[in-house]
Amino acid sequence: MSVKYFIYLIMTILVIWSLDSININAIFKKNKIWQARVFYFFLAIAIIYLVTNFIYDIYESAIIF
């Protein structure tokens, strides 16, 4: 298994866990549940992607051959 997939797995767990602490219902209008869920989903994917690529780039630059 690639290192990047492992990082994706760990970051997915950490990002979902950390986003769970945010009360996104206070941000959105009343009765806009689906819009809030879609926003939460895209926000989670964006954060997972950015953090994983950041960590993987650091990992690649630390390997000296």
Please state the domain extents for the chain. Answer: 3-62
Location of structure tokens 């689906």: 34
Torsion sign, CA atoms 8, 14, 17, 18: negative
* Residue of higher predicted confidence among 1 and 50: 50
pLDDT > 90: percent of the chain: 52
pLDDT for 65 beyond 70:
no
pLDDT for 17 beyond 80:
yes
39-62, pLDDT tens digit by residue? 999 999 999 999 999 999 998 888
Q: What's the token pair of residue 20?
A: 């769970």
Q: Are 8 and 52 in contact (CB under 8 A)?
A: yes
Q: What's the token pair of residue 24?
A: 């996104």
Specify the pLDDT at position 52: 96
Among 45, 52, 50, residue whose Cα is nearest residue 4: 52
**What does the pLDDT average to over 3-21?**
93
**Which amino acid belongs to residue 43?**
L
